Structure 1
Amino acid sequence: MNKFLIATIAALLGGTPAAAADLYIADPGDPPVVLSGGWYLRGHLGMSNQRLGHLENGAFDDVAVHQFLDSGSFDSAPLGGVGIGYQFNDWLRLDGIVEYRGKADFAALDRYDEDGDGVWDGTNDYDGAKSEWLLMANVYVDIGDWNGIKPYVGAGIGASRNRISNFRDINVPNLGVASASSDPTWNLAWALHAGVAYQATDRLAVDFGYSYVDLGNARTGTIRSYDGNFSSPPMHFEDITSHDFKLGMRYSLQ
């Protein structure tokens, strides 16, 4: 009787007891969570838009009245950088970059009253150029992913080697011309970043970014007249900052 019952149930379920066992499928549970991550290479090109806090020189204290008519400004200049980074997960990444910032032309103009009698005795027309090598470590937070569009924010800290070149001081009323050699200096640098990336392929992302960069200070060598009869202390460029706009790419190595 028991054998007949088992055979009947097996026939109804597919023919044999083994076929009934084949109908059982194990519960796979929750699918594994896969996070994006791994090493990537990056590169970018862009333009700097730099600002000068102020100029300082010990010779300014040797006259009764000193006044800037143009306190000094830089032109825009090209920049480019490369780096390597690591994507920890879908929202956090870290990279290090080396960036060369091309020569930005500089100009400023002042006037002075040597004895304070109310008569301006002369002017100084300054010009030159500034460039940097920037080394920086950056951390970024990717805010989300909308069909491959990924906005982000970030911050960085590093060092900037600031170089003033071709510096001249032209004193037009007195027909005086002086110049200074370069004296590159390393400064603490920091930056704030924001931008948006587009995931063009599984490995390649195109990145449009903005950075506010504090580059520290720069200085010239001793300023000397062309005839050798005059010299003054180095010119100090204080509190140099920049608004940078960059177009770059990131290529995943994973």
Structure 2
Amino acid sequence: MDNTKEVKFKRKDYPPESHILDSIEKVSKHFETKRDYIYEFCGMIQASKRWRVSRHLSVSLKIWKDQFIKDKPNRFDIADIIEKVFLKCTSDDEIDELRGGLLEALLIGIKGGGISSLNDYQSDLNRGWGAKVYLKADNHTKGIYYECTKNKSSSCGNRSTVDYGEWDGNTGNFYECKASPKNIGCKEIMYMDFLKSELDKRDIAHKIHFVSPEAKFNVELKLDEWGAHSSFIPVGYEDLIRMAN
């Protein structure tokens, strides 16, 4: 371990609505234990893009839940969590925020447990969620903030956080989570590219991942559209299943 180099995280993103935050905590804790239905859970995140508050949400949830738990009592708890939190959403924007949060919760759980166990800047646990990244090299620490000056796209803008990150003393892993690969935009690509350049500058070993509940191939295609496939690691449901085993 090179003690002259270090990565820390500090939560900066605004917390989601309380019911969404509560579900993220519960789901992340749930997937701390190995589960055999990650593929089906990812399928729910994909299917829920069609769930709207004004379009018979309770009916859509019942259809999904009945199929998800059929003859599988070990799925009852997580199914109840999902049904209750979607029914608490009061707008389609909340549903969209929830979908992304559930993917983050799945990843966090697989990687080591609930969000309450994640670190802040002063913690010894080097994991972060919705967190600003602080890089230390040769006794100099810098918080990473990308300020957009190119305005390549209407979706671009300033960015200062990763959805999830971890540092094991040797390598930093950084993750951007999107409920659909098509939502990977200029802001996410440019921030991660800037973060990569800052890590390279300090010779800090790292891997940068883009995560989706869809097939890995779909993430690869989207990164290819940005000319970024060689810089970043695409992660699909296949990889999430493998990571959990």
The TM-score range, normalised by the shorter chain, is under 0.3
In proportion to residue count, which structure has more helix? Answer: 2
Q: Which has the larger radius of gyration?
A: 1
In proportion to residue count, which structure has more strand? Answer: 1
Structure showing greater relative contact order (alpha-carbon pairs closer than 8 Å, 6 or more residues apart): 2
After TM superposition, the score normalised by the length of structure 1 is 0.20
